[in-house]
Amino acid sequence: MLPYATLVEAEAALGRSLSFSEAVWFRYSARMPDYLLYCHNIIFLFAIFTLAPLPLALIELGLPASVSAFKIQPKVRHPPTSFSQCYKGVMRVFTLVIGPLQLASYPIIKFVGIGTGLPLPSFWEAALQLLVYFLVEDYFNYWIHRLLHSEWGYEKIHCVHHEFTAPIGFAAPYAHWAEVLLLGIPSFVGPALVPCHTIIFWLWMVLRQLEAIETHSGYGPRPTS
């Protein structure tokens, strides 16, 4: 919750007029508790993994010839039941594991310094923070993924993710609950090392989810002859 009752108070505290985006943020968040703002992440999580893979699923179900050349495994076609099974499995883990964990992790977010106040970060500040987050996440994700491909890790945990041998967007987070937790850790390491504004934290989580969906889309560049 912002410590200003009016726009005038906020501008007086900053010593300047609010930018358009800052004014919008003030009107939206001024009377909203920080915890509720943080909980927006749960809404984004469910919304992104419900809506973003839909175009890929529709393409898969009615794959035109012009698109089939970009499919990594063109001979594999998933029936509608596979998509519903995958989606239900993902939502179950989100509801029973990820959602409650996010609700409980708010004190850590506050401790590392992710805030909701004014001023908002500049474009370049936000871009550099996101760059750090992608690099940190990619590094730790790589090593955790290698660990999961060890004999024990694959047999006990990672095999669930590979139930879909031909990837689809909905299967990006389809995994054992322990794997979802483990691979979620790198997403928080970057913001913990380089704290940001809540808006940038939201954006980071959305971009990370979209990246995972794209990676598991099952499509790639057209192969060269």
Mean pLDDT of the region 59-82: 74
- Are residues 73 and 5 part of one domain? no
- Are residues 21 and 60 part of one domain? no
- Are residues 204 and 186 part of one domain? yes
- Are residues 75 and 4 part of one domain? no
Q: What is the band of 49 on the pLDDT scale with cuts at 50, 70, 90?
A: very high
User: Can you give the pLDDT at residue 124?
Assistant: 96
Q: Which of 9-13, 54-58, 148-152, 167-171 has the highest mean pLDDT?
A: 148-152
User: Can you give the pLDDT at residue 33?
Assistant: 92
- Are residues 132 and 70 part of one domain? yes
- Are residues 28 and 103 part of one domain? no
User: Can you give the pLDDT at residue 60?
Assistant: 77
**Domain assignment of residue 17, yes or no:** yes
**DSSP string computed for 87-151:** HHHHHHHIIIIIHHHHHHTHHHHHHHT-B--SSPPPHHHHHHHHHHHHHHHHHHHHHHHHHHTSH
- Are residues 27 and 76 part of one domain? no
- Are residues 26 and 44 part of one domain? no
**Domain assignment of residue 224, yes or no:** no
Number of structural domains (the chain) is 2
| Of 140 and 74, the one with more pLDDT | 140
**Domain assignment of residue 9, yes or no:** yes
pLDDT over 90 (residue 1):
no
pLDDT over 60 (residue 209):
yes
Mean pLDDT of the region 82-103: 90
User: Can you give the pLDDT at residue 66?
Assistant: 61
**Domain assignment of residue 152, yes or no:** yes
Q: Which of 7-11, 51-55, 131-135 has the highest mean pLDDT?
A: 131-135
**Domain assignment of residue 19, yes or no:** yes
Residue 205 burial (C-beta neighbours within 10 Å; 0-12, 13-18, 19+)? buried
Identity at 41, one-letter amino acid code: N
- pTM comes to 0.91
- Are residues 112 and 14 part of one domain? no
Mean pLDDT of the chain: 89
pLDDT over 60 (residue 136):
yes
Mean pLDDT of the region 12-28: 93
Q: Which of 27-31, 103-107, 123-127, 167-171 has the highest mean pLDDT?
A: 123-127
- Give 85's contacts (C-beta < 8 A, 6+ positions apart): none
- Are residues 174 and 68 part of one domain? yes
Q: What is the band of 76 on the pLDDT scale with cuts at 50, 70, 90?
A: confident
| Integer CA distances (angstroms), 30 to 6, 109, 131, 191, 192, in order | 9, 19, 29, 23, 25
**Domain assignment of residue 149, yes or no:** yes
Q: Which domain holds residue 110?
A: 35-215
- Are residues 49 and 146 part of one domain? yes
- Are residues 181 and 75 part of one domain? yes
User: Can you give the pLDDT at residue 63?
Assistant: 66
